[in-house]
Amino acid sequence: MSLILASGSPRRRELLSLITTDFTVKVSNAEEKTGEGLSPAETVEALAEIKGEAVFSLYPNDTVIASDTVVSIGGKILGKPHSPEEAFLMLSSLSGKTHTVYTGVYIKNASSKTVFSERTEVTFYELSGEEINGYIKTGEPFDKAGAYGIQGPGAVLVKCISGDYYNVMGFPIGRINRELKKFSI
């Protein structure tokens, strides 16, 4: 029985490596679609579960971890931007304000299952158009919910947070570490 990370995110791989190097990565091709009218927390938990189940159905003897992250601001949910223009709009909407990052986590093996989410509030500095464009030019925004990564060059966009930093970077590795101890791996 081994541990599978059902995520292609290099940040999640790096974070899981902090607690074990004994895992493999299998990315699901599940369609990431949820019902209407879900809260952000319900959305990330449902999406983590969809991704996780798709991989667990192929590896039912292993322990699977899956995850999903969204950014929520003013009742709007931000996923990954598809163009520099969309990244600019997203980052402009975050400038000088506090938004909430939700990350859902699914862990399952043959004998146990848990699905939970964590929320972290993130406050951005007021950003000039020049700063936003400079950040977009680094290429960082395009694989990240809300068009930024809190680590690397995005570090200087963020004034303060309330909650788990790693929940913003990839997933809440401290809580995952504790939940995994309840699983027999």
Which parts of this chain interact with a second copy (CB under 8 A)?
Answer: 15, 18-19, 120, 125, 150, 152-153, 155-166, 173-175, 177-178
132-135 long-range Cβ contacts below 8 angstroms, 24+ apart: 132/88, 132/91, 132/92, 132/95, 133/88, 135/91
The answer to whether 61 touches 110, Cβ cutoff 8 Å, is yes
Cβ-based neighbour number of residue 162 at 10 Å? 11
143 among known catalytic residues: no
Q: Minimal distance in Å, beta carbon 85 to a second copy? A: 25
Q: Minimal distance in Å, beta carbon 98 to a second copy? A: 12
**DSSP conformation letters of 58-120:** T-TTSEEEEEEEEEEETTEEE---SSHHHHHHHHHHHTTSEEEEEEEEEEE-SS-EEEEEEEE
Q: Minimal distance in Å, beta carbon 145 to a second copy? A: 18
- Per-residue DSSP letter, 36: T
Q: Which of 22, 68, 143, 164 is catalytic?
A: 68
Cα–Cα distance measured from residue 53 to residue 58, given in angstroms and rounded to the nearest whole number: 9
Q: Minimal distance in Å, beta carbon 45 to a second copy? A: 19
User: Which residues are marked as active site?
Assistant: 68
